[in-house]
Structure 1
């Protein structure tokens, strides 16, 4: 007697295994119902490419012509042509589907698949029983719902972490440019968490613990930001409004601040001898002192900043927030801060932002380069060619007309 090949032996073992299972009859199913169940099985079990295509082809082969159970009998050659793979791949895919419990093999004694009418007039079908798809449909629906819920949770975590990361970054940038506060520890934590946070979706996904760590870091950064003394901006009261001018930074002796010593070897006597007389000192430019009420009335678009603006600190924060919308670079902001101070830079950015909005709303589109226009405003204010107070007053009159 001829010895059977290993492939045939595997098929026979699969037949014996599936036939030993308890067959639970199911109601007659249509082709659409089987396709829906097969699609759910694909998503729930994460089937590979070949089994995924084969299970859909088996569902499509069902004619729904009155069989007691949904049984199909396509040959491996037919499935290989439909799926576009070799017959060996089809054999392996069918074995995977049997192992997953999605189909039951019901071959004839000589391992063939066909349909015939028996001696008693009853129809006999040898092939693949697809009833497990229908019996497990509720299970697949539950698993798919859990998968979708997990995806939504990952999306939420990524949005939360992204928001907290921006909060930390904005706070650190503001502190680095406008304060002497020591942010080394916060920057180190920011770098560590950034390395631990995957840029793209991974198999393990984002953990809630990581989101909690980002939230704590954002709170710590904003707490340090709130501790910075707003009086550094030297607020002064003017009739009917609050005015401010560029800060005169001084050294701080707190635990969280660096103390910078002057890099000079001049003695006190030499300093006294070289002191410039007060009357010879240049007079302060008139646009160094800005009326906060004037800025708010002249630039109503500043309300795009989501927080209320009640002080110089809020105005600087608004200017930093609106700067990307003008396409001005961070280097341009830093250079302007070094030249004219943070408050005046913020006012110039807000003024440029309002002019850009007015140009867009008018429909003329006369400003071709937003970034170039904003940088020209910053350079003009720094050089004294643009009096920002005069420009704001003119812009306020234009908006009141």
Structure 2
């Protein structure tokens, strides 16, 4: 004669009884509509979808506990119940009853109080993870039958395995949510750093623009996020900062257009040559400038005075190379500057704008940058700055190094081409 499986719990009323009744009815309906598996060798090997590894499933439920409204203490009780099941796998299509005493279950839960234990058991039943299979007197035990087999009364773990697919899906969603929150937090941190740097530099240099208003907006968005902020909170902050960052960057670039990119086009035609192609940097990180070039006859260099009378003889074999040098050749040797461009650099104008932006990040003063552009010209100064950025980790003071190169260029002892050649050799 088949055993009757009760729907109602023994001696339990209120919401806990209602949760048990609903869970038991749903489990009974599921078993009626789902065909029984014949648990052959395939099922034992783990290919049966109704069977689940209890440890892997518990880990997945731990990651997805928020989706099921379970706390860490409730999962501790579930882990204790699983420890009473001797097999590693649990069959979701057949009753899997464990029948620990209250005292033993409490001990495996770290000495949890009986009232707390009952509350967490009710939580597991309400979440559909276990069912109560109470005996007529409410006690938990196993009873052998004369015809073979046995009847057990206690807690049924089969619903836990039956919901494996749902649990794994929720765990994947929870993991994706954690990664999304982490990525949004990283973006917030990076934008906060960039906004702070640009606004601080602009205010300290007295640049034109609505920097005071931008600083106030930044202060409102720089408050720390809650440690357990959800994705919506972090994403809202990220979007607000992205909007502010776009305005800050555009204001900075507008300031550069007005303040730092108005040099005469004639500077782009200047050229200074150094016949030695040794590296500009030493491995120890100490800066090394180019050795003085041999002065040759046949071409002249203007020191930039109004009268143009101070002229020294310098060679010109590289002049056509510099003028004909494509932007792609510079970018192949100095790819790092591309990370700072607001848009893809397709012409020299955008390259020079980006170099002026990078100047602030390298800590080069406006005076040093202005002097370099005045002596070398806009194009050559931008190339030099891109080369300095490429080896920023080897240069102790980017500003001091640029001033030294400017001084060498003013004396006709520095050329851009050997610097680019050294970078080409480095990347090859």
**For the superposition of Structure 1 and Structure 2, which TM-score range results when normalised by the shorter chain?**
0.5 to 0.7
Deviation at 1:188, TM superposition (A): 2.0
> What TM-score, normalized by structure 2, do the two folds share?
0.58
Higher relative contact order (CA 8 A, sep 6+): 2
Unaligned runs of 5+ in 1: 1-9, 245-277, 358-368
Say if 2:345 is the partner of 1:308. Answer: yes
SS in 2 for 1:372: coil
> What TM-score, normalized by structure 1, do the two folds share?
0.61
- Range moving further from structure 2, 199-208 or 40-49: 199-208
CA distance in 2, matches of 1:388, 1:299: 25
- Residue among 225, 240, 264 paired with 1:235: 264
Say if 2:155 is the partner of 1:112. Answer: no
CA distance in 1, matches of 2:195, 2:217: 10
User: Equivalent residue for 1:372?
Assistant: 396
Say if 2:255 is the partner of 1:219. Answer: no
- Residue among 355, 358, 361 paired with 1:321: 358
User: Equivalent residue for 2:3?
Assistant: none
User: Equivalent residue for 1:75?
Assistant: 101
Deviation at 1:50, TM superposition (A): 2.8
- 1:2-401 matches, within 5 Å, as 12-13=11-12, 20-21=21-22, 22-23=24-25, 24-25=27-28, 26=31, 32-42=52-62, 43=64, 44-45=67-68, 47-63=70-86, 68-86=94-112, 88=114, 90-118=117-145, 121=148, 123-155=150-182, 157-158=184-185, 161=188, 165=192, 168=195, 172=199, 175-176=202-203, 177=205, 179-195=207-223, 198=225, 200-203=227-230, 205-206=232-233, 208-228=235-255, 229=257, 232-237=261-266, 301-306=333-338, 307-308=344-345, 310-311=347-348, 314-315=351-352, 317-318=354-355, 320-321=357-358, 330=363, 333=365, 336-337=368-369, 349-354=385-390, 356=391, 370-372=394-396, 374=398, 376-378=400-402, 380-381=404-405, 390-396=414-420
Deviation at 1:125, TM superposition (A): 0.3
Aligned length: 337
Partners of 1:340 and 1:382 within 8 A in 2: yes
CA distance in 1, matches of 2:307, 2:101: 102
Q: Deviations over 1:313-353 (max 9, x none)?
A: 733633653886xxx5x3x5467458767969866544434
CA distance in 2, matches of 1:53, 1:300: 57
SS in 2 for 1:390: coil
Q: Deviations over 1:100-129 (max 9, x none)?
A: 342222243454322111356552101101
CA distance in 2, matches of 1:51, 1:303: 54
